[in-house]
Amino acid sequence: MGIGGIGMGELLIVLVVVLLIFGTKRLKTIGSDLGGAIKGFRSAMADGDREAEAEKSVLAGSAGTEVKRIDTRAVTGTGSQTNHGTPARPESSGPDGSEALPTRR
């Protein structure tokens, strides 16, 4: 058995039929076109890998940068309500842990 269950005899018959159908000149052209396509694909993959590595290094360089969140509740007027379905909590509490007076909205 040869490649993928095809014996040497079957492979030779297929090659002779392909040669008769396309001819030597056309097979040479098809081969060179196929080789050029594979070469272009490999270079495009290498370019993509280089770009991905460059992006990765840029992101890794900015990983140490600290991102600060801004509390917009006072600006938007949402008061003690929080986003994303979390329960409301007082904005501040007194020294004994009691809730502060409600703010005007």
Above 70 in pLDDT, residue 37?
yes
- Structure confidence at residue 64 as a pLDDT band (50, 70, 90): low
CA distance 28 to 21: 13
- Between 101 and 45, the more confident residue is 45
Per-residue model confidence (pLDDT) at position 2: 58
Query: Quick check: pTM over 0.75?
Result: no
Residue 7: partners with Cβ closer than 8 Å, 6 or more residues away = 1
What pLDDT band is residue 57 in, cutting at 50, 70 and 90? confident
